[in-house]
Structure 1
Amino acid sequence: MSAARQLYCQQLRQFSDTLVQLQTPIKILDAIKWPREMEQRFLATGGSQLPAIDKGFYDALPLPFAPHQVQQELKQLKQNIHKTLGKQDPLGRLLVANVEQYRQVIDMLTHRGTPTFGRLSQQLYGSADNKLHGDRHTLRQLGDRLSYIFSLPAASHMNKQHPKNLDAATAVTDLSQRLGRYFHSDEMRVRLSDGIVSDAAVGGDTVKINSKAMFSQADLNVYEVHEGWVHVGTTLNGRAQPHATWLSVGSPRVAAAQEGLAVLLEMLTLSSTPGRARRISDRVTAVDMAEKGADFIEVFRYFREQDLSEKDSYRVTQRVFRGGMVAGGSCFTKDISYVRGYVENVNFIRSAIASGLPELIPMLFLGKLAIEDIPTLYLAYRDGILTAPRYLPPMFEDYSGLYAWFGFASGLGNINLKGVQRHFQRQFRILPNVEPLYAGQEETEFDSTVE
């Protein structure tokens, strides 16, 4: 490596480490979370009273950093990057993009419980009215279509296979063993937590399991690949970078790529369930309703009318209104990231294959990145500035199988599915009109949530 290149890498590492340090106390979900008892209070009223969450509630939850001071430090970091690396340096521009995102995040968090929070959330994460790249459909339209598919009668039959019969301690032991084998060269933890509202969440290299929840084997299958392989995996891959350590932390611009990749892994490993997939799809509908002015009760009742349980209806609604206004008009739009990101990841892989660039596919795991960053990051990898991902799921390490899978999927995409369905429905007419699977088993409520 030349002296000039060595100096560049040192400077990149210095700026990267500074960004990692500055963003450490900026924890979005912690800043907008609601008390767990709020669910009990709301359901005790039959869902007839708005949760007691307003601007005053958030003002009483001080941020663990000084907003003005961190804003100034981020502004100075941006100036230093421009001065040292130049405004046109490709990796410097990615660094600055993340710096600017954290500045917007601070603005958003200082406006919790106000209309400004919702506007800034849309700028950071997008809106349910956004259209998919290269497509005319909105995210809300896609979400509605998926919600319909995952609420068909066949889905309820399949959901009965997954009873929640594992306590939290058992879940921690099981998941620790699984992820310990996967992350063979790094320490990571799975631990019980009393401080999370969802059933599982990730913080850096730690998977947190809600100590008060019960779990199914299907839940653990999801957590292994979603929380473990993707969220922890990209954190550790980013930390292993010799110069671009900012890839170990994620600003909102990476949310769609991260959550979409996690959902894609659920699908590729057959870990997800119709109930889980429906919850992800319903989140888009909840965001769209809240964006258009529906209040908390209206969104909650909508999902009750769609035959979701009280608990599921509350939780999908609560996710969207946290940080915003329960009376409507301001919400947290991050939950569109799961569906949007899934589609974008699938289309990226398909496009990489069709363009003769399948070697770009493992770059999805390089760290916490936006998909549009990958060409720049790949060039830096080719130049020796970045290293290959340390941890890759098997199907991404040898992506010949992915090539075949997506090749077949693309080839089948032009088949007239409605015509095929009519053909088979004619054959299905001889079957009795009764529940075909798992007759007599009790209904199982599916209320687990994963961030």
Structure 2
Amino acid sequence: MSESLAQYQEDLRRFSDELIRIQTPIKILDAIKWPREMEERFLSSKGTVLPAIKQDFYQNIALPFDPAKTQAELLSLKNDIHRRLGKKDKLGKLLVANVDQYRLVVDMLGHRGTPTFGKLSQELYGSASHRLHGDRHTLRQLGDRLSYIFSLPAARHMNKHHPKIISAPEAVNVLSQRLEKYFHSDDMRVRLSDGIVSDAAVGGDTVKLNSKAMFSESDLNVYEVHEGWVHVGTTLNGRAQPHATWLSVGSPRVAATQEGLAVLLEMLTLSSNPGRARRISDRVAAVDMAENGADFIEVFNYFRELNLSAKDSYRVTQRVFRGGMVEGGSFFTKDISYVRGYVENINFIRSAITSGLPELIPMLFLGKLAIEDIPVLYQACQEGILTPPKYLPPMFDNFSGLYAWFGFASGLAGIDLKGVQRHFTRLFKDVPSIDPSLELLDDTEFDNNSD
């Protein structure tokens, strides 16, 4: 190894570790989460009284870092990267992109409960009015289409096949055993938590399950691949990098790729269910309504009118207004990441196959990255600066089956689906419809609410 390459790798590691150190106390969701009793109060009012969340509520949630000092450290790190690696260095540019993201995050958290919070959220995560790459449809249009599909009578009927009968301690044991087999060379934990509002969450190498929740077998299947294989897996893959350790932490610019990949794994492993798929799709509509000025009650009532339970209507709404303003005018747009990222990951895989570059596909698991980073990261792997992913799901490790799957999907993409649907609608016209009594929703159906 040349002396210059060794020095470059040393600098890359030093800057990566410094970024990790600076960003460690920056916990976006912790800084904007609402107390659990807020849900009880709102539902007890029958959804007629806005949650008591004002700007002073957020001011009373102390940030575990000094914003001014953190901004100064991030700016100093950016200048050091430019000085040592140069402004044109490709890996240096990715590092700086993440540094700039954290600078925006610090600014956003300093404006919780104000209109500026929503504007900065859109800058970091995007907007439901944005269009997908190369497509004319907005994310809201796609979300509405998916929500319709996953709320059809057949979908609602299938949701009854997933009863929540597994206690939290039992769920921890089951999930621990599954993930210990997958992460054979690293320590990771599944533990109970009283401090999360959702049913499941991930922090670094730890999957946290809500101690007060009950779970279905489908929930555990989802958590195994979504929280485990993807979120914990990419963390550990990033930590295994000898120089680019920043790949173990994720700024908002990687949210769509991460969440979309996690949802894709749910689909490829047949772990998901229509209820969960609908929740993910509904989040886009909630973001779009908030972006267009709706207040908390208006968004909540929108989902109630679509036959979503009161509890789940509250939860999908709360996710979008955390950090913003319940009376309207500010919002948190991260929830578009799931649908946007799902489509982008699929299109990336299909394009890698049709472009003759299927070896790019496993790079999705290299660490916390944005899809646009992959060509640069792949080249760095080829040059020996980065190492390949340590943990890969079976279908990404030996991706011949994945190639066949998406190869067929690409080949069929040009078929007129409306014409096909008309053909089969005629074929199905005499088939008895589902018993209408099975279409009714109760308040227990869509309770799984993992981030």
- Give TM class, smaller chain: over 0.9
The aligned residue for residue 252 of structure 2 is 252
The aligned residue for residue 19 of structure 1 is 19
**In structure 2, what residue type is equivalent to 1:354?**
T
Contact 2:294–2:328, Cα closer than 8 Å, also in 1: yes
User: C-alpha deviations, 1:284-303, integer Å up to 9, x for none?
Assistant: 00000001000000000000
**In structure 1, what residue type is equivalent to 2:256?**
A
* Matches of 2:125 and 2:442, distance apart in 1: 39
**1:225 aligns to 2:218 (yes or no):** no
- 1:52-451 residue pairs with structure 2 within 5 A? 52-435=52-435, 445-451=445-451
**In structure 2, what residue type is equivalent to 1:241?**
Q
Offset of 1:444 from its aligned partner?
5.0
* Matches of 1:74 and 1:437, distance apart in 2: 58
User: C-alpha deviations, 1:138-192, integer Å up to 9, x for none?
Assistant: 1001001110111111101111110000010011000000000000000000000
Contact 2:157–2:438, Cα closer than 8 Å, also in 1: yes
User: C-alpha deviations, 1:378-400, integer Å up to 9, x for none?
Assistant: 00000000000000000000111
Contact 2:360–2:378, Cα closer than 8 Å, also in 1: yes
Contact 1:189–1:206, Cα closer than 8 Å, also in 2: yes
* Matches of 1:217 and 1:197, distance apart in 2: 20
* Matches of 1:288 and 1:447, distance apart in 2: 22
User: C-alpha deviations, 1:204-259, integer Å up to 9, x for none?
Assistant: 00000000001000000000000000000000000000000000000000000000
User: Structure 1 residues 437 and 186, CA, compared in 2 at 3 Å: closer, same or farther?
Assistant: farther
Offset of 1:84 from its aligned partner?
0.5
* Matches of 2:164 and 2:422, distance apart in 1: 37
* Matches of 2:440 and 2:103, distance apart in 1: 55
Contact 2:308–2:441, Cα closer than 8 Å, also in 1: no
* Matches of 2:325 and 2:195, distance apart in 1: 23
* Matches of 1:232 and 1:408, distance apart in 2: 30
Offset of 1:329 from its aligned partner?
1.2
- 1:38-53 residue pairs with structure 2 within 5 A? 38-53=38-53
Contact 2:202–2:208, Cα closer than 8 Å, also in 1: yes
TM-score in terms of structure 1 length: 0.98
User: Structure 1 residues 2 and 282, CA, compared in 2 at 3 Å: closer, same or farther?
Assistant: same
Offset of 1:429 from its aligned partner?
2.5
Contact 1:157–1:435, Cα closer than 8 Å, also in 2: no
SS at match of 1:160: helix
* Matches of 1:165 and 1:316, distance apart in 2: 23
User: Structure 1 residues 76 and 423, CA, compared in 2 at 3 Å: closer, same or farther?
Assistant: same
Contact 1:160–1:442, Cα closer than 8 Å, also in 2: no
Most deviating of 187-196 and 423-432:
423-432
User: Structure 1 residues 194 and 441, CA, compared in 2 at 3 Å: closer, same or farther?
Assistant: closer
Offset of 1:440 from its aligned partner?
12
**In structure 2, what residue type is equivalent to 1:44?**
S
**In structure 1, what residue type is equivalent to 2:64?**
P
Offset of 1:443 from its aligned partner?
8.6
SS at match of 1:271: coil
* Matches of 2:166 and 2:50, distance apart in 1: 33
* Matches of 1:127 and 1:439, distance apart in 2: 33
TM-score in terms of structure 2 length: 0.98
**In structure 2, what residue type is equivalent to 1:295?**
D
User: What's the C-alpha RMSD, in Å, of the aligned pairs?
Assistant: 1.5
Aligned length: 451
SS at match of 2:166: coil
Contact 1:158–1:437, Cα closer than 8 Å, also in 2: no
SS at match of 2:209: strand
Offset of 1:442 from its aligned partner?
8.7
Offset of 1:201 from its aligned partner?
0.1
Contact 1:159–1:444, Cα closer than 8 Å, also in 2: no
User: C-alpha deviations, 1:264-310, integer Å up to 9, x for none?
Assistant: 00000011101000000000000000010000000000000000000
Contact 1:260–1:341, Cα closer than 8 Å, also in 2: yes
Offset of 1:449 from its aligned partner?
0.8
Offset of 1:433 from its aligned partner?
3.4
* Matches of 1:279 and 1:443, distance apart in 2: 14
User: What is the percent sequence identity of the aligned residues?
Assistant: 76
